[in-house]
Structure formats: C-alpha cells, structure tokens
Amino acid sequence: MFDDENFNIELKENQIEVVLLSHGTGECILIKYEENHWIILDSFLYNKEPIAKIYLDKLGVDSSCVHFIGVTHWHDDHIKGFRELLKVYKDSEVLISMDNTFEKILIKKYCNEDGEFLSTFKLLESEKKRRKFRIAGERKLLRKTQTLTLKSLTPQDSLISLGIFDKILNKDVKYPSHLNLFSIVLHCKMKNTSILLGADMENHNSEIGWEAIVRDNEDLEKASLFKIPHHGSKTGYNKKIWNKMLTSDAIAILAPYSKCKSSPPQKEDLENIIKHVKKVYIACKTKSLKNITSKTLISDPKMVELFDSLATIKESVEEKMGGIRLSKDATSGSWDVDLLGSAFCYSS
C-alpha cells in the first residue's frame, strides 16, 4: 500500500521509463528520460494527494529531479492535483497548452470562480517572474538536451485563426469536447527512442486535429511507444497515425474513462486499435471493460499488492487503480512492460 512506510518500489537504473497511471476518472504520465531527470504530465488525486508525487516518493525521487511538469489541457481528469505539483516541484519548468491569458478567459467562462482551475491559474500567475513557462504550439521545440528532444505538435495557431476558441467562448460549439482540440500532443525523443503522447486529441478537419498533425509531422522519427488519444475512443482514432507516425512494432497504451454513459474504450474501439497492433495495454479496468477478456502480465509482486489495494475515488470493486510501467535502454532494444494492479492487455 502507498500508506505502508515499509513498502518500496525500486528504480530501474540506466533505463528510460514511461509510466501511465489511471483509475478511470483521471490519468497521469511520468517519464524518466535520464538518471535523476523526470517529467510529469497531467494529474489526478489519490487520498487528496497527486498520484505522481505518491509514486515518485515511493521511488525515493527527490523533488529537485522533476525538471518539467505540464497539463495537456484543462479537463478535470487531467488537472486534479496540478496546483499541488506546482508547489512541491518548485524549480520545474511548466508546460501549458495555450497562452495563460487565453486559458484564463476560457476557465472563467466555464468554471467556478473559487474552483481548482482558477486557483491554479492564480498560482501560475504569481510565479511568472521566477519560473520558466513553455507554451505549446505547432511543431514547437519545448526542451532540448543531450538526451531529450521534446516537441509539441498541436496546431494551436490554426485553432485560434479558424475561430474555434471564439466559438467555444460563445458556446457555439459543444464544450468541453472541443477543448480536446487544444490538448498538447507531444513527440518525445530520448537518444534513439521516440514516443508519441496523444493526450485527448481528436479528429476534426484538415486544418486542425489529427489530420493536420499527421500531415505536418511525417518527417519526425517514428515512435516505438504510443499513448493512444482520448481514452481509445473513436473520436481520437485515425489510421494515418499508425501508418505514418509509428514504427511497425510500436507499443500501444491507453487510459480508459468511466465517467460518461458510453465510457471509452468500447469493444469496437479496441477492435479498431488491434488492426494495427497485436495487443494494447490498458492502464486500469473500468465497468465498461469488465466483460472483456484480458491477459494480465505482472512482474513485480510488490507493485501488484500496491495497485490492488487502491480503489478509485468511488471505492468500486469493479474500478481499481492501475498502471503501465515501460522501460528500456534509450539507445537500443525493446520495451519491457509491467502491468500493475488492474491494468491488463487486450489482444486479438
């Protein structure tokens, strides 16, 4: 259990890591791109504490080792606990999906004045002078070191020029679904290994969404790991991603969602995905997935104990905490996959 002071998770030395955590109503990604260098993307809470902090604390990772934290977009299954992360990882750079002014207007339009969204913005504004901010944009280089090249692929200029932002503010288009078009799609290259993180990006038209991203980024190194967009739903599925942006043996991972009537992924969504891969790893089991046959691969008994002990915030026996932990040498070799808790593998 996370609350057990004797419980320890071991770091994997000399390897890069990608971890996707979920409990069906929130998701979080952690990336170790070199020793003592971590990225946190998105957040959800467990026992009123950000899951990323809990996980890294159990690994014994010092707060100074988190160099980059970001939120891909401002939906509550991605933002819960982000304010606390800003306070804990005080020296990290911050990634947000739009200029702060645009986002503040949007959040004020749709969220309670005293809510978590606006309080997070107030904290961000108070730290503008001392903390480095990165604003995502189309083909924008966000960070480059000897071991990491991080690029944003989302065509946000087109979103603004085509009036999508104004339409959302005027409620001419359905909120919150269109906010997914502003979510940050990231291409992350760690030495000779590239990954593609699809956030909640959806299809729309030739100027925005996946059609534009694929068309404008065919020159990028193909990714061997793909975080499937928008919980594996049909709105985020585009076969061109698989054909043009991923290696033929790419690993596919996703975080399901359990808070709507037709919670993704549905079985037909998974069938679309496995047209391109032999199996897809799903970070946790939700009610909509309870009847789907799974093949569970777990290699760390302590992690099994940990994740099996964590129910969702609903304390449902059918929806439990889960995670996918992937690791490899950054220069060669294939990904090792650990499925944790209720995470499972769906195959044809």
pLDDT for 37-86, tens place per residue? Answer: 999 999 999 888 999 999 999 999 999 999 999 999 888 889 899 999 99
Q: Residue 314 pLDDT more than 60?
A: no
Mean pLDDT across 186-203: 96
Give the pLDDT score at 1.
Answer: 35
What local confidence, expressed as pLDDT, does residue 172 receive?
Answer: 54
Q: Which pLDDT belongs to residue 128?
A: 79
249 phi, psi to nearest 5 deg: -110, 25
How many helices (H) and strands (E) in the chain? 11, 18
- 268-289: buried (b, 16+ CB within 10 Å) or exposed (e) per residue? ebbebbeebbebbbbbbbbebb
214-236 confidence digits (pLDDT tens): 999 989 999 999 999 999 999 99
Q: How far apart are the first and last CA of the chain?
A: 33
- pLDDT higher than threshold 80 for residue 178: no
**Alpha helix (H) residue ranges in 61-209:** 76-79, 82-88, 100-110, 116-126, 156-161, 164-169
Q: What is the mean pLDDT of residues 163-175?
A: 58
Query: What is the arithmetic mean of pLDDT over 188-201?
Result: 97
What local confidence, expressed as pLDDT, does residue 311 receive?
35
Q: Would you place residue 117 in the very low, low, confident or very high pLDDT band (cuts 50, 70, 90)?
A: confident
**Residues 6+ positions from 151 with CB-CB distance below 8 Å:** 139, 140, 141, 142, 186, 187, 188, 220
pLDDT, position 313:
32
Amino acid at residue number 279: K
Q: Which CATH superfamily is domain 16-347 in?
A: Ribonuclease Z/Hydroxyacylglutathione hydrolase-like (3.60.15.10)
Q: Is the pLDDT of residue 348 over 90?
A: no
Cβ proximity of 172 and 157 under 8 Å: no
For residue 270, give the nearest of 278, 261, 280 by alpha carbon: 280
Tell me whether residue 70 is exposed, middle or buried, using C-beta atoms within 10 angstroms of its C-beta: 0 to 12, 13 to 18, 19 or more: buried
**CA triplet 28, 44, 142: central angle to 5 degrees?**
45
pLDDT for position 262? 80
Which one-letter amino acid corresponds to residue 84? E
Q: What is the pTM of this model?
A: 0.88
Beta-strand (E) ranges in 11-78? 16-22, 27-34, 37-41, 45-46, 49-50, 66-70
| pLDDT tens-digit map of 88-113 | 999 999 998 765 555 656 655 555 55
Q: Phi/psi of residue 224, each to 5°?
A: -95, -5
Reported confidence tier of residue 275, pLDDT bands at 50, 70, 90: very high
Confidence of residue 295 (pLDDT cuts 50, 70, 90): very low
